[in-house]
Amino acid sequence: MIKKILLGIVLLVAIIAIGFVIMVYARYERTFEAPYPNIKASTDSAVIARGRSLAFGPAHCANCHSPMSDMTKVDNGEVTPLSGGFNFELPIGNVYAPNITSDEETGIGKLRDEEIARSLRYGVRHDGRAILDFMPFYDLSESDLTAVISFLRTQAPVKNKRPQHEWNFLGKAVMAFLVKPTGDGDVPESPAIDSTAAYGKYLAASVANCRGCHTKRDMMTGGYIGPEYAGAAEFEVVDENGKIIPGKHLVTPNLTPDQETGRISGWSKKDFIERFRKGRLIPGSPMPWGPFSRMSDLELTALYKFISSLEPINNPIPLGIQEGDPK
């Protein structure tokens, strides 16, 4: 009797496992519907210049979309072709940053402006599949989204075919059941481009992704589970070739002005700006110091004012590279 019960349990578990595998393979390439924003690239030189400034500055496009061979140049704040670059070696598989130059065969040359806008606004690719939450630009203002796309259209075509993402079974399961479009299309009105805390908040939350990295998040869903800007998100450490160094990680610092645990508590505006001008000081840090070093004094002043206005959160964070894999 007991053997029959155990056999029944084993068979039930096997049926459930087989059913789960079938569902994963049936769903991992599922597609989604999302509207196409009414965005058209402009030929206005000021609009293009704004887009270029964002792409190579606070929006840090170059950090992922430049060739791995150019990463030293990116770290130095240089302008590089956005022909596809970073290979993300993740627990769910290998993810490759695509070529976003105007090349028609391997880049975005054949995509309509509205298709590019949809990918940035809603996280939906031109083929309808969801994009991993690596580009949190859903709340870019209409004018800045137009500026970025206008700039991308001006890039010289570079032929560089990037591999398709290589999902392992865990990755396919994540894509099948967890990953979905993130943007909701409810874009807040952006403030004027000036040195105020209001513009700093827009940069921190909608452009530079300070909130996304300096807030503790669920490793599986990407959802926020900690106080905003209080740090504690964990990242793998990578070498100069973008390869993960096993057994080491970095924890993002607390940016709130808590006197005991805030990393920049007590910094003057001058200290803040000078730190950004120095670039990367901790090898393997995931922060895009190269593009951020290109930010203007106005942008950095706005960020400083916004961060200084945050509610202080007492959240001690260890400094430097830590031993052990991210939790």
pLDDT at residue 10, as a whole number = 81
- Please list the residues that pair with 249 across neighbouring strands: 236, 322
Amino acid at 277: R
271: its two tokens: 């200290």
pLDDT at residue 150, as a whole number = 98
Contacts of residue 135, Cβ cutoff 8 Å, sequence gap at least 6? 119, 120, 123
Angle between helices 45-55 and 142-154 (to 10 degrees): 90
**Segments of the chain scoring below 70 in pLDDT:** 219-222, 240-242
CA nearest to 103, candidates 159, 148, 62: 159
Distance (Å, whole) CA 317 – CA 261: 7
pLDDT at residue 11, as a whole number = 85
Q: How many CB atoms lie within 10 A of CB 174?
A: 21
Compute CA distances 277 → 166, 292, 319, whole Å.
Answer: 37, 8, 20
Amino acid at 319: L
Q: In terms of pTM, does the model score above 0.85?
A: yes
Q: Are strands 244-251 and 321-323 parallel, antiparallel or unpaired?
A: antiparallel
Distance (Å, whole) CA 66 – CA 78: 11
Q: Give the model confidence (pLDDT) of 51-99 as tens digits.
A: 999 999 999 999 999 988 888 899 888 999 999 978 888 888 999 999 9
Could you give the residue ranges of the DSSP H alpha helices within the chain?
2-27, 45-55, 62-65, 71-75, 113-122, 142-154, 169-177, 197-202, 210-213, 269-278, 289-292, 297-308
**Cβ atoms of 197 and 302 closer than 8 Å:** yes
Q: For 224, phi and psi rounded to 5 degrees?
A: -75, 130
Q: Domain locations in the chain?
A: 1-30, 31-190, 193-327
CA nearest to 106, candidates 181, 54, 157: 157
**Cβ atoms of 232 and 315 closer than 8 Å:** yes
Contacts of residue 86, Cβ cutoff 8 Å, sequence gap at least 6? 63, 64, 65, 66, 68, 96, 97, 242
DSSP sequence for 86-115: -EEEETTEEEEPPP-SS-TTTSSTTS-HHH
pLDDT at residue 220, as a whole number = 62
